Structure 1
Amino acid sequence: MQGVGSFAFFTAWFGILISMLVAQVFGIVSALDLGRHGVHTTGVALSTRSETWNDADGDPVTVHYTKIGFTVGTERHVEEISGRYTTGEKVRIVYDPQSVNVVRSEEDTGLGGLVGDFVGVAVLLAMLVFGVSFAISWYRE
């Protein structure tokens, strides 16, 4: 029974890691694709809100979101992007012409803005390699 439980644990571990890795890579590809093929324009920051919670160590983490107003043709749109901007500030944004509600700041669609996402992929890959090596050494015993 111990072998079945260990197998189930490793299967769940790898399933979760692979799911997280796929989601992270998909997010990077989506952001880069939007940056390359989206419509670049300028919006105006309308309001900013923040959410704060405690991480696993009990340290507070705050994330900021800003409502951006912009015009497509004659239609006015208001969408929320990540980041903290002063009300009235002009913000360079990119939106998907097929789905105008898909909006990001320009800085979030370039390689520089995605550094944290790339670090996340590296950490997940390292965890996957560690898990595989651990499973192989455990299996050999």
Structure 2
Amino acid sequence: MITPVDIIEMEPEHVNTVYTISEGAFPLPWAKEELIREIINPHALNLVALYEDTVCGYIQCWYTYEDADILNIAVDEHFKRQGIARALLNRLITLLKEKNVQNIFLEVRVSNIPAQMLYKSFGFITLAKRERYYINGEDALVMNLQI
């Protein structure tokens, strides 16, 4: 892992880099305006990983009461396979525990084996498969972690 990596809440000055990372990671990235709105959403946790003040990854989550949904997690191509996603997920889980969240849900592409392995290493289990969930028709696995 790259050190030091700081995990902090996303701020407006991070939005452009988060958007650029999302363009490389997802076929349909969120608009910059949506990312800005999420910063002030009282039921959202949006974290960025910083390496020398540069955003190298991010994670987005919505939560209410005891449940949370991880919406997106992505790492800049230049920083992949260095523990950034693991650090983001670990910090998010810690913060959700502090908010008394009990269940975390997410969807992951059936073809995204590295992400599935990461989630399983945290104790996520597969609950179901959503057929043709993604825009390209790919199926998604619904995963859950009880914390």
TM-score over 0.5 (shorter chain):
no
**TM (normalized to structure 1)?**
0.27
Higher helix share: 1
**TM (normalized to structure 2)?**
0.26
